């Protein structure tokens, strides 16, 4: 029997968890200060809640659960594992609408599951950190979400990220002005979305392969594929003769509000940004860093999805940070503070011999009362063996209560890093360790 | 389409999450101070990892996942949702044995899933808070785990819990002395385990129904079913002539070590405690409170389970707290501090009119920088409507930046509880709100 975790999933050992908790702690703190409140939903949903929400490809990647655990014969599935955090949110908004505030701002940090082919950095179980605002079309929403995300990335130590921003209705306008028939819009967006990976010529070839006319393809690549330009939004607005177009107005409002925030200097208008999910209706955003092919997160406005559950449309906008990618980049760049992975213990109490066991237990109790993380060696083992164990666990301090120390009402505290050993009075042991840990 | 969560599961709205986080925060803090380190495992395991570990009934309650999400036709399942946290731990210990310390002390706080019939207080998705120590048979382990659990319950505000303790080998000795054939031991334990619910006569009847002899039944009920007695352990040891029996010695050691800890005065030897899971081999424990039929948690020593994965036995002992039951009892008794459910916001910033939007955003930014949880009203709405919204959200303070306030370089801060409104200088706004929140 294999003892590995299932394909595409991971076990998180203590150091992994500490890194994850570090990132989640920053995300949660910032989300809360921006007025978002926590929500959690079940790991699985009724299967009909998820089917048909993620496109044909997405449908295939949904993990389906056999009914009542007993229908092995019929193979009937009635539940499915959460595929993202947005569809469950839409269901929650419909279910609890009378209890929720008019503007519902929630964050949700939970795993999702996709039956994808596992690959480097692609997992079947991974965490998303979502924040969404339901109930208003105000451009403050997009600005606030981007600001929160920019603050998180800055606090985590990212100095080189940009927030790419575009608008779904600008894309639609571009496709119409390029005289593409509506049936080809999806194909064209899929091709354009790859421009960072396959370049301008690659996109031209893919559009030709998909039957898009040369004229249409050239027009699109003229507007989109010519590389970043500082005045891209102004230039495109003139090219398209679209100064009064609501999408340009909306985007300018968002940029205007965001200008004086932490997101301001990070923002880049980029009309090649398409974002896969079909439910977006307004502004769309994505976080890019130079050394990652994909994005660290993204989001956008989706004013119709909640309506699929509620029966009437409710405006909504959200942003999702990918925890696994944040951690991958932070690991590769060595961005985790030493304190995060320094280990989970402050001090280990040894047991000198069987008769001193109770005294050691009492000392461990006192150290724990003082808030220290304390390992009590479980057996009256050879003292050398106990020290060896403490070193292997990376415990910074070891407390020794031998017969001599006890006779003098003292404890010997050994700093395993420096090797220095200090005798302190029993009553001062906790304060001594705490002061040395802080120093 | 129903918008309810699936049968037996729950959505957790912000107040629910805050209660859960309060309990989890205490559990985690205590577990860490006792030297336990965090571990997380995937939501699903390969199906063969779980099958056959929980008895026949347990097998039926395992949620099974269709292979690669595509095998609807064959109904073939290759994954299954985590049923408890102990079997995944045993797999992890086998998989990473070379990386783990000799004594591996881990805690794990994650949901598990069981395809049980939902009922009041019985869910299909629920959290367990486990701590386990692998690698030693020292009685310090049981004592330390019970002490940690006692400290958690005390900090959460439980004053009336007891820790029932028994030993699997004492039960086996009792059954043998009552001359029950080994084939009837399981049946007898199932019946005895119900003595709190169905009483002495009920147990006698059930044992008769299960074909257990009157002599055997009487002997067992004489030893076990006669109600708590202060000297139960001594009395039973004499009755069974078992002073040198290893189970009695082991239990006395555990009680001796625990005597001077937070668990000491809570401990009650209770030979009727059987605990359902068949993998226990030594001491078994369970937390009882008067107003709950089931237990708040329980655990015990299981020295053979890890061996099923590792190929050689490794001693192990664990304790599991049931998060849902803790919360149910705490809700019913009103044990949550007001601060836990007071809401997620400290202050709301209003928007006076469209021209003051940027000034309000800047104020919100400053308040957030000071660590406050700040809602920025998203639209330049009627001010009365903004106040009504703030009241509905239970925000304690509202900040108003009208034209007059801006001209004077001030902010008006209204305490929504008292109705009092104070003009403070713009620079002092954050400090003012913080001082009033703490007071």
- Is residue A9 assigned to a domain? no
Give the confidence band of A291 by pLDDT, cuts at 50, 70, 90.
confident
Verify that B406 and B302 share a domain, yes or no. Answer: no
Separation CA B312–CA B217 (nearest Å): 37
CA distance B174 to chain A (A): 30
CA distance A322 to chain B (A): 17
- The yes-or-no verdict on residue B70 having pLDDT over 60 is no
Higher pLDDT, B424 or A54: B424
Give the confidence band of B343 by pLDDT, cuts at 50, 70, 90.
confident
Burial class (CB in 10 A: 0-12, 13-18, 19+), B267: buried
Please list the residues that pair with B106 across neighbouring strands: B37, B132
pLDDT of residue A73: 66
Q: In this prediction, what percent of chain B has a pLDDT beyond 70? A: 98
CA distance A72 to chain B (A): 6
Establish if B24 touches chain A: CB-CB under 8 angstroms: no
Q: How many domains does chain A fold into?
A: 2
A377 lies in which domain range? 344-438
Separation CA B141–CA B136 (nearest Å): 8
Establish if B253 touches chain A: CB-CB under 8 angstroms: no
In this prediction, residues A149-160 reach a mean pLDDT of 96
A39 CB neighbours in chain B (<8 A) are 11-14, 17
Give the confidence band of B1 by pLDDT, cuts at 50, 70, 90.
confident
**Residue from A66, A110, A374 to probe the interface with B (highest B Cβ count within 10 Å):** A66
- Is residue A8 assigned to a domain? no
Verify that B334 and B361 share a domain, yes or no. Answer: no
Instruction: Report the chain A residue with the minimal C-alpha distance to residue B123.
Output: A42
- The yes-or-no verdict on residue B71 having pLDDT over 70 is no
Verify that B307 and B160 share a domain, yes or no. Answer: yes
| Of the partner residues B72, B74, B345, the one whose CB lies closest to the CB of residue A77 | B72
B264 CB neighbours in chain A (<8 A) are none
| Of the partner residues A17, A32, A77, the one whose CB lies closest to the CB of residue B373 | A32
pLDDT of residue A322: 94
Q: Which range among A337-341, B22-26, B234-238, B381-385 shows the weakest confidence by mean pLDDT?
A: A337-341
Last residue of a domain, one of A338, A366, A385: A338
- Is residue A369 assigned to a domain? yes
Higher pLDDT, B195 or A202: A202
For B379, the 3-state DSSP assignment is: coil
Q: Name the strand (E) or helix (H) holding B408.
A: helix B403-408
Task: Extract the tokens encoding A34.
Answer: 């921006």
CATH code at position A266: 3.30.930.10
Give the confidence band of A339 by pLDDT, cuts at 50, 70, 90.
confident
Q: pLDDT (tens digit, 9 = 90+) per residue, B118-130?
A: 887 789 999 999 9
pLDDT of residue A140: 95
Interacting residues of A395 by C-beta distance below 8 A, sequence separation 6+:
A343, A345, A346, A347, A348, A375, A416
- Residue-wise DSSP of B191-237: HHTTHHHHHHHHHHHHHHHTT--HHHHHHHHHHHTT---TTHHHHHH
pLDDT of residue A72: 62
Separation CA A99–CA B385 (nearest Å): 18
- Is residue B89 assigned to a domain? yes
CA distance B36 to chain A (A): 8
Establish if B359 touches chain A: CB-CB under 8 angstroms: no
Q: Do B69 and A11 touch (CB under 8 A)?
A: no
pLDDT of residue A89: 97
Q: Do B70 and A141 touch (CB under 8 A)?
A: no
**Residue from A1, A2, A3, A314 to probe the interface with B (highest B Cβ count within 10 Å):** A3
Q: Do A3 and B94 touch (CB under 8 A)?
A: yes
Last residue of a domain, one of B282, B304, B338: B338
pLDDT of residue A32: 96
In this prediction, residues A119-126 reach a mean pLDDT of 89
Kindly report the number of other CB atoms within 10 A of residue B240's CB atom: 16
Answer whether A366's CB lies under 8 Å from A411's CB: no
A14 CB neighbours in chain B (<8 A) are 37-39, 106
Establish if B3 touches chain A: CB-CB under 8 angstroms: yes
Residue with tokens 């119709």: A304
Give the confidence band of A294 by pLDDT, cuts at 50, 70, 90.
confident
Give the confidence band of B277 by pLDDT, cuts at 50, 70, 90.
low
Verify that B226 and B284 share a domain, yes or no. Answer: yes
pLDDT of residue B100: 92
Establish if B39 touches chain A: CB-CB under 8 angstroms: yes
pLDDT of residue A122: 87
Instruction: Report the chain B residue with the minimal C-alpha distance to residue A94.
Output: B3
Verify that A367 and A222 share a domain, yes or no. Answer: no
| Of the partner residues B21, B35, B65, the one whose CB lies closest to the CB of residue A63 | B65
Last residue of a domain, one of B307, B338, B369: B338
- The yes-or-no verdict on residue A432 having pLDDT over 80 is yes
In this prediction, residues A126-138 reach a mean pLDDT of 97
pLDDT of residue A263: 93
Separation CA B128–CA B120 (nearest Å): 18
pLDDT of residue A69: 54
CA distance A208 to chain B (A): 33
pLDDT of residue A70: 56
B141 CB neighbours in chain A (<8 A) are 378
- Is residue B1 assigned to a domain? no
Q: pLDDT (tens digit, 9 = 90+) per residue, A6-42?
A: 999 999 999 999 999 999 999 999 999 999 999 999 9
- The yes-or-no verdict on residue B69 having pLDDT over 60 is no
A4 CB neighbours in chain B (<8 A) are 95
- Is residue B39 assigned to a domain? yes
Q: Do B64 and A61 touch (CB under 8 A)?
A: no
Kindly report the number of other CB atoms within 10 A of residue B340's CB atom: 16
- Is residue B280 assigned to a domain? yes
A34 CB neighbours in chain B (<8 A) are 368, 374
Establish if B146 touches chain A: CB-CB under 8 angstroms: no
Please give the order of strands across the beta sheet that includes B37-38.
Answer: B37-38, B104-113, B125-134, B316-322, B297-301, B283-288, B162-167, B267-269
Q: pLDDT (tens digit, 9 = 90+) per residue, A81-94?
A: 999 999 999 999 99
CATH code at position B430: 3.40.50.800
Give the confidence band of A68 by pLDDT, cuts at 50, 70, 90.
confident
Separation CA A48–CA A44 (nearest Å): 11
Verify that A401 and A353 share a domain, yes or no. Answer: yes
- Is residue B2 assigned to a domain? no
Q: Do A65 and B71 touch (CB under 8 A)?
A: no
Verify that A235 and A362 share a domain, yes or no. Answer: no
Establish if B399 touches chain A: CB-CB under 8 angstroms: no
Q: How many CB pairs under 8 A join A and B?
A: 270
Instruction: Report the chain B residue with the minimal C-alpha distance to residue A70.
Output: B60
Q: Do A17 and B4 touch (CB under 8 A)?
A: no
CA distance B214 to chain A (A): 39
In this prediction, residues A363-369 reach a mean pLDDT of 95
**Residue from B43, B47, B58 to probe the interface with A (highest A Cβ count within 10 Å):** B43
CA distance B26 to chain A (A): 12
pLDDT of residue B293: 78
pLDDT of residue A65: 94
pLDDT of residue A296: 95
Q: Do B37 and A69 touch (CB under 8 A)?
A: no
Overall residue count recorded for chain A in this entry: 439
Verify that B163 and B57 share a domain, yes or no. Answer: yes
Establish if A66 touches chain B: CB-CB under 8 angstroms: yes
Give the confidence band of B374 by pLDDT, cuts at 50, 70, 90.
very high
Establish if A424 touches chain B: CB-CB under 8 angstroms: no
Verify that B284 and B139 share a domain, yes or no. Answer: yes
Answer whether B17's CB lies under 8 Å from A40's CB: yes
Verify that B178 and B307 share a domain, yes or no. Answer: yes
- ipTM greater than 0.90: yes
Q: Do A9 and B44 touch (CB under 8 A)?
A: yes
**Residue from A25, A378, A395 to probe the interface with B (highest B Cβ count within 10 Å):** A378
CA distance A202 to chain B (A): 32
Q: Do B115 and A69 touch (CB under 8 A)?
A: yes
Q: In this prediction, what percent of chain A has a pLDDT beyond 70? A: 97
Instruction: Report the chain A residue with the minimal C-alpha distance to residue B47.
Output: A6
Establish if B372 touches chain A: CB-CB under 8 angstroms: yes
Burial class (CB in 10 A: 0-12, 13-18, 19+), B434: middle
Alpha carbon B211 to its chain's center: 38
**Residue from B21, B29, B37 to probe the interface with A (highest A Cβ count within 10 Å):** B37
Verify that A86 and A219 share a domain, yes or no. Answer: yes
- The yes-or-no verdict on residue B215 having pLDDT over 90 is yes
List A residues 84-123 in contact with B (Cβ-Cβ < 8 A): 91-92, 94-96, 99-103, 105-106, 111, 113, 115
Separation CA B32–CA A325 (nearest Å): 27
pTM of the model: 0.93
- For all residues of chain A together, what is the average pLDDT? 92
In this prediction, residues A251-263 reach a mean pLDDT of 93
Answer whether A31's CB lies under 8 Å from A131's CB: yes
- The yes-or-no verdict on residue B225 having pLDDT over 90 is no
Verify that A170 and A289 share a domain, yes or no. Answer: yes
In this prediction, residues B249-278 reach a mean pLDDT of 90
């Amino acid at each position: 029997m294999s003892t590995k975790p299932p394909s595409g999933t991971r076990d998180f050992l203590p150091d992994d968890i500490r890194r994850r908790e570090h990132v989640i702690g920053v995300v949660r703190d910032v989300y809360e200060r921006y007025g978002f409140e926590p929500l959690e939903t079940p790991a699985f949903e009724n299967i009909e809640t998820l089917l048909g929400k993620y496109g044909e490809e997405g449908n295939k990647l949904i993990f389906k659960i056999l009914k009542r655990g007993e229908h092995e014969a019929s193979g009937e599935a009635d539940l499915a594992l959460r595929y993202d955090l947005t569809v469950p949110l839409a269901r929650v908004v419909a279910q609890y609408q009378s209890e929720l505030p008019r503007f519902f701002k929630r964050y949700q940090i939970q795993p999702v599951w996709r039956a994808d082919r596992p690959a480097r950095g692609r997992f079947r179980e991974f965490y998303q950190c979502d924040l969404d605002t339901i109930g208003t079309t105000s451009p403050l929403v997009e600005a606030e979400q981007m600001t929160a995300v920019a603050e998180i990335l800055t606090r985590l130590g990212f100095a080189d990220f940009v927030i790419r921003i575009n608008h779904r209705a600008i894309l639609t306008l571009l496709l119409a002005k390029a005289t593409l028939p509506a049936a080809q819009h999806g194909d064209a967006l899929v091709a354009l979305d790859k421009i960072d990976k396959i370049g301008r010529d690659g996109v031209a070839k893919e559009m030709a392969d998909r039957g898009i006319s040369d004229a249409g393809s050239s027009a699109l690549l003229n507007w989109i594929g010519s590389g970043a330009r500082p005045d891209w939004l102004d230039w495109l607005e003139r090219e398209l003769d679209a100064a009064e177009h609501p999408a340009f107005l909306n985007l300018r409002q968002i940029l205007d509000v965001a200008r004086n925030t932490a997101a301001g200097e990070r923002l880049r208008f980029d009309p090649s940004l398409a974002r896969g999910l079909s439910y977006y209706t307004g502004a769309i955003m994505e976080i890019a860093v130079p050394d990652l092919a994909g994005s660290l997160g993204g989001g956008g406005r989706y004013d119709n999805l909640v309506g699929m559950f509620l029966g009437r449309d409710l405006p909504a906008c959200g942003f999702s940070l990918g925890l696994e990618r944040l951690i991958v980049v932070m690991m590769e760049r060595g961005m985790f503070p030493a304190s995060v992975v320094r280990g989970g213990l402050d001090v280990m109490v040894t047991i000198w011999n069987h008769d001193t066991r109770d005294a050691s237990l009492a000392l461990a109790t006192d150290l724990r009362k003082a808030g220290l993380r304390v390992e009590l060696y479980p057996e009256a083992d050879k003292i050398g063996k106990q020290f060896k164990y403490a070193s292997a666990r990376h415990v910074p301090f070891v407390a020794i209560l031998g017969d001599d120390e006890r006779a003098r009402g003292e404890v010997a505290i050994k700093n395993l890093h420096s090797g220095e050993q200090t005798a302190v009075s029993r009553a001062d042991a906790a304060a001594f360790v705490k002061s040395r840990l802080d120093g």
